[in-house]
Structure 1
């Protein structure tokens, strides 16, 4: 047991520099890095990864994402990224949505219609600023997000007044869905699914 304690002290000592100025420098360096390839910076124009793009023009980023600028809501600004423990920031929800990308949307044949469910994205919407869908490679359509319910312990809860978390299309018409989301730090992500990949009972 004593050996374990000494090993932990040795690891802690090697990971913490003795000079406090070195520690501050090391922490400041990541802030100087360029934005991630899929991040959006609002300023003089919109920059995605370092390339300025023109509104309405899809852009390929360095990591292969094709982003549609029209999805970014007008007047949106990056929100402070202070974790609350209630999953109301991009910092908190982005790791979850990245890990669960395959579940962003669902497709159900029900009542003579194709229902495209966005329940999963609604369940993490408090860290998002916008969401859009393209059906069968058509134009991106903005999908309004319900308000966050900050007065409750679970702000992302879907309440009766929020509406239904699906879109209705004619039966058998949905073959391909592209989803693009804008996080509240203005970074974006996108995913494309065939109907068979996201079909639910």
Structure 2
């Protein structure tokens, strides 16, 4: 039995790891769909509120566009994302100087609608009530 375990371990060690870049719609669609509750977050800060898009920015390489609206279902406002960092080990990384949020007046947001357009044209939509995205 021990010999079998050693053989299995040797085979696993010899198998090359195939990295995924997570830069295509097919790669990230299951992740984005499974994490809908985390697409945005709302944080009260210094007399205003910050609406964060950090999660979506982390998968931006496979997105054509992100639109949103506050207190409306229109989702016509475009969230401007940085280009994909192609040619790097982490193409979806968020640069340290990037602020992945927009500022709103305190108490202004009651609902937010987000539409994610994947690179293949698929549109995913999610509506949020303030209480569902409010960070402590």
- TM-score, structure 1 length as denominator? 0.56
Q: Deviations over 1:9-29 (max 9, x none)?
A: xxxxxxxxxxxxxxxxxxxxx
- Higher RCO (CA < 8 A, seq sep 6+): 2
The CA deviation at 1:138 is: 6.2
Q: Which residue of 1 aligns with 2:77?
A: 141
Find the counterpart in structure 2 of residue 194 from structure 1.
Answer: 129
TM superposition shift of 1:200: 1.0
Specify the alignment match of 1:86 in structure 2: 21
- 1:1-51 per-position Cα deviation (integer Å, ceiling 9, x unaligned): xxxxxxxxxxxxxxxxxxxxxxxxxxxxxxxxxxxxxxxxxxxxxxxxxxx
C-alpha displacement of 1:145: 1.3
Q: Name the structure 1 match of 2:12.
A: none
- Report Cα offsets for 1:95-150 as digits up to 9, x if no partner: 00000000000000111111100000000011100001110016420111111111
Distance 1:126 1:153 in 2: 13
Alpha carbon RMSD of aligned pairs, Å? Answer: 1.3
Match of 1:178, SS?
A: strand
Match of 2:93 among 133, 145, 157: 157
Q: Which has the larger radius of gyration?
A: 1
Q: Which stretches in structure 1 are left out of the alignment for 5+ residues?
A: 1-83
CA distance in 1: counterparts of 2:71 and 2:96, whole angstroms: 30
Task: List structure 1 runs of 4+ shifted beyond 3 angstroms.
Answer: none
Q: Indicate yes or no: 2:108 matched with 1:173.
A: yes
- C-alpha change, 1:197 and 1:128, in structure 2 (3 Å) is same
Number of residue pairs aligned between Structure 1 and Structure 2:
117
